[in-house]
Amino acid sequence: MVGQQGIRYTISLIAAHFGDVVAVCECLIRRGSLCFMDVVRFTELHQGQVKDCLLVLIQHNCVQAFSIPKTGLSIPQHPPPLRIGMGGATMPVTLYMAIFDNIIHRMRFSKFLQIVKEHLGNQCAELLEGFLQHGRLTFELLYDRASGLSGGKAKRDDVLATFNKLVHAHYLERCPKGDPFLEPKDNDDVSSVRKRTRSGEETSTIEQEAIIAAAPLDADRFSGILDLMMDTEADIKHIKNDSSLEVSAGNKRKHEVLEAEEEIQNTINTIDVLWRANYEKFVQCLKKKTCVANVRSRFGLDAAIVLEAMIGSSDRQNARTMNSVSSSMSSIIESVRGKPGGISMTLEHVRTILEQLGCQVCTEETGALYTVGLKDIIENCQNDEVESLVFKKYGKESYRIFRLLIKMGRLVPMDQISDKTFLEKKEAQKILCKLWKDDYLDMEKVNLNVGGRSEVFLWKVNRKVLWELVLNDMFHTALNISQKIAQVAEEFLLSNTDVQKAERLRRARIILESSLLKMDDAIMLFHDF
Tell whether 385 is covered by a domain.
no
Percentage of residues in the chain with pLDDT exceeding 70? Answer: 80
- Containing domain of residue 352, as a range? 280-376
pLDDT of 126 reads 94
Bond prior to 180 in cis (omega within 30° of 0): no
| One domain, residues 307 and 438 | no
pLDDT, tens digit, 9 for 90 and up, residues 230-272: 443 444 444 445 444 444 444 545 566 666 666 666 555 544 7
Tell whether 145 is covered by a domain.
no
Give the CA dihedral 335, 338, 344, 346, nearest 10 degrees: 20
Percentage of residues in the chain with pLDDT exceeding 90? Answer: 52
Task: Provide the H-helix boundaries in 271-373.
Answer: 279-299, 301-311, 329-336, 347-356
pLDDT of 317 reads 54
Using an 8 Å Cβ cutoff, are 398 and 437 in contact? Answer: no
- Reported residue count of the chain is 529
Q: What is the mean pLDDT of residues 63-76?
A: 70
For residues 524 and 529, what is the distance between their CA atoms, to the nearest angstrom? 6
Using an 8 Å Cβ cutoff, are 509 and 460 in contact? Answer: no
| One domain, residues 451 and 468 | no
Using an 8 Å Cβ cutoff, are 246 and 92 in contact? Answer: yes
For residues 48 and 257, what is the distance between their CA atoms, to the nearest angstrom? 10
Using an 8 Å Cβ cutoff, are 325 and 374 in contact? Answer: yes
pLDDT of 272 reads 76
Q: Note the maximum CA span of the chain.
A: 89
From 77-81, 147-151, 174-178, the region with the lowest mean pLDDT: 77-81
Q: For 152, list phi and psi in degrees, rounded to 5.
A: 85, 5
Radius of gyration of the chain (CA): 27
| One domain, residues 355 and 433 | no
Structural domains of the chain, count: 4
| One domain, residues 355 and 489 | no
| One domain, residues 208 and 85 | yes
| One domain, residues 8 and 97 | yes
The enclosing H or E element of 375 equals: helix 374-394
106: pLDDT strictly greater than 70: yes
Confidence band (pLDDT; 50, 70, 90) for 80? very low
Listed residue (213, 170, 17) closest to 104, CA to CA: 17
CA distances, 373 to each of 153, 200, 201, 351, 370 (Å): 49, 32, 29, 16, 10
| One domain, residues 235 and 96 | yes
From 364-368, 386-390, 498-502, 514-518, the region with the lowest mean pLDDT: 364-368
| One domain, residues 90 and 199 | yes
pLDDT of 409 reads 87
For residues 477 and 484, what is the distance between their CA atoms, to the nearest angstrom? 11
pLDDT, tens digit, 9 for 90 and up, residues 463-507: 999 999 999 999 999 999 999 999 999 888 887 778 888 899 999
Q: For 97, list phi and psi in degrees, rounded to 5.
A: -125, 140
Greater model confidence, 436 or 365: 436
Strands (E), 134-197: 172-174
Tell whether 299 is covered by a domain.
yes
| One domain, residues 300 and 342 | yes
Angle (CA) 499 502 503, round 5°: 85
Give the CA dihedral 396, 401, 406, 410, nearest 10 degrees: 180
Tell whether 314 is covered by a domain.
yes
Give SS3 for 365.
coil
